[in-house]
Amino acid sequence: MAAALLGGELFVPRGTAVWSNIFLLALVSTVIAFSTLIKGLSVLGPVRTAIIATVEPFFTAILGALVLGNQFGAATLIGGVFIAAAVLVIEWSSTRITASA
């Protein structure tokens, strides 16, 4: 921002619609996301929260396809299957360790 200001290239939006979109983006992407992460930590604990958070990239790809019309190719689908399998294996192994202890 400082470089843009010094270079005379700083652009400040002027429309109400633009600022409402910026506000909504900040609210949903930052405030709500961070608040739910902290709530997840308190309810699930750090290990389970980290395991569940690993599926975030796959859900981002799904939302990108549904909302923005991005391409959802075979590589994304295979990656999602690998992520889901990893979460299941980690969850299954942590359940077995807890049950045997």
Residues 49 and 35 in one domain: no
- Specify whether 50 is located in the same domain as 92: yes
Domain identity same for 35 and 75: no
In this prediction, residue 16 carries a pLDDT of 92
Shared domain check, 101 and 82: yes
Q: Which two three-digit tokens encode residue 98?
A: 């807890």
pLDDT of residue 23: 93
Residues 19 and 59 in one domain: no
Residues 56 and 82 in one domain: yes
Answer yes or no: do 23 and 59 share one domain.
no
Residue type, 92: W
Indicate if 54 and 80 belong to the same structural domain.
Answer: yes
The torsion angle over the Cα atoms of residues 71, 75, 81 and 86, rounded to 10 degrees, is -120
* Same-domain status, 54 and 38: no
Give the CA-trace dihedral at 77, 78, 84, 87, to 10 degrees: -140
Give the model confidence (pLDDT) of 36-57 as tens digits: 889 989 998 888 888 878 888 8
Is the domain of 22 the same as that of 39?
A: yes
First to last CA, the chain: 54
Examine the domain organization and report whether 88 and 74 are in the same domain: yes
Q: How confident is the model at residue 95 (pLDDT cuts 50, 70, 90)?
A: low
Domain range for 30: 1-44
31-46 burial by CB neighbour count: b if 16+ within 10 A, else e? eeeeeeeeebeeeeee
Whether residues 35 and 55 fall in one domain: no
Number of folded domains in the chain? 2
pLDDT digits 0-9 by tens, 71-86: 888 888 898 889 888 8
Q: Supply the pLDDT for residue 91.
A: 78
